[in-house]
Amino acid sequence: MTDTAIVWLRRDLRLQANPALAHAIAHHQRVIPVYIHAPEEPGSMFTGAASNWWLHHCLLSLSQSIREMGSRLILRQGTDSLSCLQQLIADSKASAVYWNRLYEPACIARDSDIKTQLVDDGLEVRSFNSALMFEPWEMTKQDGSPYRVFTPFWKACVARGLPSPAVDDVEQMPAVSTRLGSAKLDELALLPELDWADGFADHWQPGEAGAEEALQRFIDEAMAEYADTRNLPAIRGTSALSPHLHFGEIAPWQVNNQVEAALSADTRQGAVKSAETFVRELGWREFANYLLYHFPHTVDEPMYPRFAKFRWETKTAVPLRAWQQGRTGIPIVDAGMRELWHTGWMHNRVRMIVASLLCKNLLIPWQEGAAWFEDTLVDADLASNTLGWQWTAGCGADAAPFFRIFNPATQAEKFDAGGEYIRHWVPELASLPDKYIARPWEAPASVLEESGFNPGEDYPLPLVDLKQSRERALERYKQLSSDS
């Protein structure tokens, strides 16, 4: 037996407030932080192209921080995490393996297998909570079954009290032997082959320091007005913490703690309500993980089985492609899809609008939209993505009633009144006056001429008629209830 512990890092890519890491440092002389690249393995962190870009830069940042602490991040790659861990255990003579828990079905299955095997091998294995304020199994209804409605779930969480766990900060890490082998980050080939993601760096700073900066910016500049501005996509009214939270660069309780601390010194009008609204969004993140844990089938099937019979369109290749490329001819939708392509992110309000168009106006299965988001979002998160898409499609927990079909033109006029967001992402529309920028198909000839805009040439004609497709969707949903 030696006194060496391995800390298997996954979506907890931070040094501060990291329970597994803090435990290892507190109880062992030698600590080996490792990231394992097993792209073929179910539950792997090698997923969408945008996420992989983020992961690359996050690992880069983390390995620099670990170096500053006097240690070294070990990278290993292989077909599966277990064999990589076993090899590392053999190489390092480690006696303990620690990690922070994940809650996706594939990760739970993998991790529990690994735990069983390593315990059999005679190692001490412990997992910790680094990602959630409430473990999914902690919160149940009075009858012991899981919540399926957000508000009572969140009320129960708040009643219990949002946690503020004390986790030791890392001041210094013991050195890792230079003989211990590590892959080079570039060998993991996380960056896309095309230079498509190059622009991401203008928008994002992956890593622990970037997460802290994003939170500070939000608290200083946006939080007090959050309740009013969070729906305006032209404004940086949201925190944009989602990718940082996804990769565990910051813990949700750290976010909550800092918001509360800032609030106690904040006398601005509406600050309390805004902070509450914001923290409630952290609650939605908890709820998404909670639902995925209790209802793992929701990853690709509707939460409620009666929706399995819903009659989606089958010939979807052409409209799906137009949607993905931001060429639907519906300005706010195209703006959102282009923002996604260029930055790896989309404003939440716009996510709802583009999703509603796909599921309801185009009648394309929500799974198609979820897959595209998984591939293109830097904050792609199976739990949040699943909840969001099922909510939009009307087949999930606390779902939108089926008659609630967004009108993308009305939404744009309401939340992008000056057309600033549309003009930024769809510059070919920029010359149109505000009145028609969200619905160029209604612009009279005189306006078209004056602005020099040629519908169908400069910009696609709308892919669907909003009114007709709305009625068609309502009809389909009606069929669903009359059939059963």
Partner DNA sequence: TTTTGAGTTGTTCGA
Partner DNA sequence: GTCGAACAACTCAAA
Residue 54 annotated to the active site:
no
Residue 99 annotated to the active site:
no
Closer to DNA at the Cβ: 191 or 234? 234
- As given in the structure block, the two tokens for residue 59 are 């690992």
Residue 312 annotated to the active site:
yes
Q: Judge residue 80's burial from the number of C-beta atoms within 10 Å of its C-beta, 0-12 exposed, 13-18 middle, 19 or more buried.
A: middle
Residue 208 annotated to the active site:
no
Q: Residues 370-395, buried b or exposed e (16+ Cβ, 10 A)?
A: bbbbbebbbbbbbbbbbbbbbbbbbb
Closer to DNA at the Cβ: 76 or 349? 349
Q: What is the DSSP letter of 304?
A: S
Q: For residue 164, give the nearest of 256, 264, 261 by alpha carbon.
A: 256
- As given in the structure block, the two tokens for residue 172 are 């210094």
Can residue 160 be called a binding residue for DNA (CB under 7 A)? no
Write the CB contacts of 181 (distance below 8 Å, at least 6 apart in sequence): 74, 91
Q: How far apart are CA 85 and CA 87, in angstroms?
A: 5
Q: How far apart are CA 424 and CA 127, in angstroms?
A: 46
Q: Which of 26, 40, 90, 142 binds DNA (CB under 7 A)?
A: 142
Q: Which of residues 34-73 bind DNA (CB under 7 A)?
A: none
Q: How far apart are CA 453 and CA 426, in angstroms?
A: 13
Output the DSSP codes for 56-100: HHHHHHHHHHHHHTT---EEEE-S-HHHHHHHHHHHHT--EEEEE
Q: Do residues 38 and 149 touch, judged by C-beta distance below 8 A?
A: no
Q: Which of residues 279-318 bind DNA (CB under 7 A)?
A: 281, 284, 304
Stretch that binds DNA, among 58-66, 120-128, 196-204, 347-355 (CB under 7 A): 347-355
Query: Would you give the distance in Å from CA 282 to the centre of its chain?
Result: 12
Stretch that binds DNA, among 23-31, 150-158, 239-247, 429-437 (CB under 7 A): 150-158
Residue 389 annotated to the active site:
yes
Stretch that binds DNA, among 28-36, 140-148, 362-370, 374-382 (CB under 7 A): 140-148
> Given phi > 0 = left and psi -120 to 50 = alpha, else beta, which region is 154?
alpha
CB of 482 to DNA, least distance (A): 8
Q: For residue 98, give the nearest of 167, 36, 34, 172 by alpha carbon.
A: 34
Residue 366 annotated to the active site:
yes
Angle at 275 between CA 269 and CA 278, to 5 degrees: 135
Give the three-state DSSP class for 270: coil
Closer to DNA at the Cβ: 14 or 294? 294
CB of 237 to DNA, least distance (A): 12
Closer to DNA at the Cβ: 112 or 151? 151
CB of 276 to DNA, least distance (A): 12
Closer to DNA at the Cβ: 119 or 149? 149
Contact map string, positions 220 to 259, toward DNA, x by CB under 7 A: -----------x----------------------------
Closer to DNA at the Cβ: 221 or 403? 403
Q: Which of 134, 391, 436, 453 binds DNA (CB under 7 A)?
A: 391
Give the three-state DSSP class for 178: coil
Q: Which of residues 405-424 bind DNA (CB under 7 A)?
A: 405-407, 410-411, 414
> 225, 276, 341, 348: which one is catalytic?
348
Can residue 441 be called a binding residue for DNA (CB under 7 A)? no
Q: Which residues bind DNA (CB under 7 A)?
A: 141-142, 145, 147-152, 155-156, 231, 281, 284, 304, 348-349, 352, 387-388, 391, 398, 400-407, 410-411, 414, 466-467, 470, 478, 481
Residues recognised as catalytic: 281, 284, 312, 348, 366, 389
